[in-house]
Amino acid sequence: MALIQVDSVGQVGIVKETSPWNLPPNVWSDGNNVKTEENSIKKCPGYSEVLKTCPVAPHYVTQISLGTPEYWIVGGLTTIYAYDNTGSSTALNGAINSSVTTITVDSTVGFENVGTITIGTENITYTGKTSTQFTGCTRAADSTVAAAHDDNATVNRSTKWYNITRTSGGYSTDAGEGWTSTVIGGVLVMTNNVDNPQFWQLTDGIPLSSQKMQDLTNWPSATILNGAINDSVTTITVDSTEDFPSAGKMTIGSEEITYTGVTSTTFTGCVRGANSTAAASHSDNASVTITTRCKSLRAFRSFLISLNITKDNVNFPRLVKWSTEAATQTLPTSWNETTSTVDAGEFELADTKGAILDGLPLRDSFMIYKEDAVFSMTFVGTPFIFAFRQLSPTIGAIAKNCVAEFDGGHAIFGKGNFYVNDGQRMKPILPMKLKEYVFQSIDGQQTDKSFVVADYGRNEILFCFTSDGGGTNFPNKAVVWNYVTNTFTIRDIPDCAHMGYGNVSNPTTSTTWAETAGYWETATGPWTMSYDLQDKVLLFADPGNTKLYRDRSGNKNDTTNMESYIERTGLSLDESGRPNQNMVKRISAIYPNMAISSTNDINVYIGTQMSTEGGITWSAPVTFNPNTQSKVSVRGTGKYYAVKFESTTDMDWELDSYAIDIQNVGSRGSRSY
């Protein structure tokens, strides 16, 4: 008999290998809801609901900082909301009664010039502030009750939801398109490939409830009449037709008009009152518009880059269009590529047939990801402004929002692999069998909803996809790549339309030292986030349940116990510690070196098989608690054996290594067994 040690069990992670007998002993062949950390394997933390009473089914989420406040922006299909995440606080400098309208505090730093504060259970709006006072207060706001408050009472900056949908009406996107976002000069810009792009620019002194999204200023979607027209003319003169397709539909007032041709300043072959609208007379300088949209809109340097353009209903899937450079804290003033007086322009990436899906900056270049190719876009100045170079003629992205930036470049969810773009080449990163697992598991009807997100605090990239047969219309699985250790694990996610990275207020209450359970030596990971009111983590958008979840919060998936397991099959180490596929071995015990966070038990399984073609015979689960036990007594005989560690309850665990008690029984052809 011999005790064979398996160390560094988190060094490689999971390799979904159909021939696991070829893997090193410390590599895992299967698992779910686990992660690697410092050569250990551990249960992946769960997630819990935050920013409760989300007013919209969330399909997109991102965090932005515009000055002192921090906002989570949540995009639905028809509306957009902002959640004020800053939550500043101060204290009363003197007691107040239930009617005063000027409130003195220690400091108003971190509070809006106009906004809402909360003292106790009372909400109070204010219209102005000094360094130590809130002025123009209206008591008992939001149907709360006015009350007297003591000196030193806490005054909180109210965190709440604001509907920032444009005043002209809601949006028309669908779940397959969704949103992209970018920030240029302190201005948030969003697009959904259905409506004109939107921007959100905050103005000091105006309540957040009054600051709405607007159609992007100077976006190429309008011209004006050059002369009044009656309700029957069929040739219409305008200032310029430069941004209009050669045939299509335009709108003047409430009238839709189709046309069959253009010159530089006229629309010809016009049919008035199209689509059951009423033909009408229109005055000189009336606005003439089309809906111009794009697949994605991103900031690069001081430019906005629009990708895959549709003008009216005419799609230009390989077109890249860029604005003029924007001044600080402003939006670009023109998209006119026909004049040499501005540096706007456009370029068609026609080398391959695939459509453009997305793009992101990478150091000094902007990378453009098509369905079937990757291009770099580099600033060169006048007269060309940008130079384009094909980086890959065969590799592309699987959908928009499937690229994430990290220290080593871009991580890309491609159609046949995951890739890293270092600016010079595309490098595949998935091990072969894990690649097979992903692309055999993915729901081929839902690939357009896949996305990639970076968790910078954990050095991880999540490649999220909808698993086939999962009964969901949104991604429910993530392959997690640690780009520092180059390890892979797999986890469940809620039916997520998107994820964002940023500060999230912890949903739990604070914990005192006296209330903490366990001992220093049995702690299985970093201190829970309840010791820090805010921490940068991922926020999950679950539109089906109209919920937002904070990742790495507790040991459950919301309110459901999480099943977590790690499994290795195909082991053939004998008493010498070397692989021996001819020797039959008897396994009598496993000695896990692990820690857990509760009194609940881990389930340990042993499996055996006599040949690589035969199935694994698994034992019944044996419960194990490392706080009270050191050994798991098992029994199994075979040429190959397997181990599995599993938890199904509210607990955390971490496995550093394990040892197996092995006895050689006999070689192939021996009758001793």
Question: With contact defined as beta carbons under 8 Å apart, do 556 and 67 qualify?
Answer: no
Give the model's pLDDT for residue 610. 94
Q: What is the DSSP letter of 149?
A: B
Give the model's pLDDT for residue 62. 97
Distance CA 321, CA 300 (A): 12
Query: According to DSSP H, which parts of 413-507 are helical?
Result: 432-441
* Bond before 383 cis per omega within 30 degrees: yes
3-state secondary structure of 449: helix
Question: With contact defined as beta carbons under 8 Å apart, do 87 and 156 qualify?
Answer: yes
Q: How many CB atoms lie within 10 A of CB 167?
A: 8
- Identify any residues that bridge with 225 across adjacent strands, giving them in sequence order: 238
Give the model's pLDDT for residue 115. 85
Distance CA 29, CA 13 (A): 9
Question: With contact defined as beta carbons under 8 Å apart, do 475 and 449 qualify?
Answer: yes
Question: H or E stretch including 567?
Answer: strand 564-571
Give the model's pLDDT for residue 18. 66
Place of tokens 């800053």: 86
Distance CA 253, CA 75 (A): 28
Give the model's pLDDT for residue 512. 40
Distance CA 565, CA 647 (A): 6
Distance CA 601, CA 627 (A): 10
Burial 632-661 (b: 16+ CB within 10 A, else e): bebebbbbbbbbbbbbebebbbbbbbbbbb
10-residue block means of pLDDT along the chain (673 residues)?
Answer: 94 84 93 93 94 93 80 97 83 98 93 89 95 97 95 88 92 90 95 94 78 91 93 96 84 94 96 95 93 94 96 90 92 85 92 97 97 97 93 96 95 97 95 91 94 96 91 93 95 97 64 42 42 72 97 91 96 94 96 93 96 92 96 96 96 97 80 41
First to last CA, the chain: 15
Q: Which amino acid is at 632?
A: V
Spell out the domain ranges in the chain. 2-30+563-666, 88-158, 176-217+292-396, 222-289
Q: Which amino acid is at 289?
A: T
CA distances from 347 to 291, 343, 374, 588 (A): 20, 13, 15, 69
Q: What secondary structure, in 3-state letters, does 487-553 show?
A: EEEEEECCCCCEEEEEEEECCCCCCCHHHCCCCHHHCCCCCCHHHCCEEEEEEEEECCCCEEEEECC
Nearest Cα residue to 89 out of 174, 148, 163, 155 = 155
Give the phi and the psi of residue 31 in degrees, each rounded to 5. 170, 165
Distance CA 145, CA 140 (A): 5
- CATH assignment, 2-30+563-666: 2.60.120
Distance CA 66, CA 199 (A): 13
Question: With contact defined as beta carbons under 8 Å apart, do 343 and 304 qualify?
Answer: no
Place of tokens 């080593």: 408
Give the model's pLDDT for residue 670. 43
Distance CA 449, CA 443 (A): 10
3-state secondary structure of 614: coil
Which residue pairs from 612-617 have beta carbons closer than 8 angstroms and sit at least 24 positions apart in sequence?
A: 612/19, 612/21, 612/570, 612/640, 616/569, 616/642
Question: With contact defined as beta carbons under 8 Å apart, do 61 and 73 qualify?
Answer: yes
Q: Is the pTM of this model over 0.95?
A: no
Distance CA 2, CA 659 (A): 10
Give the model's pLDDT for residue 505. 62
Distance CA 435, CA 558 (A): 29
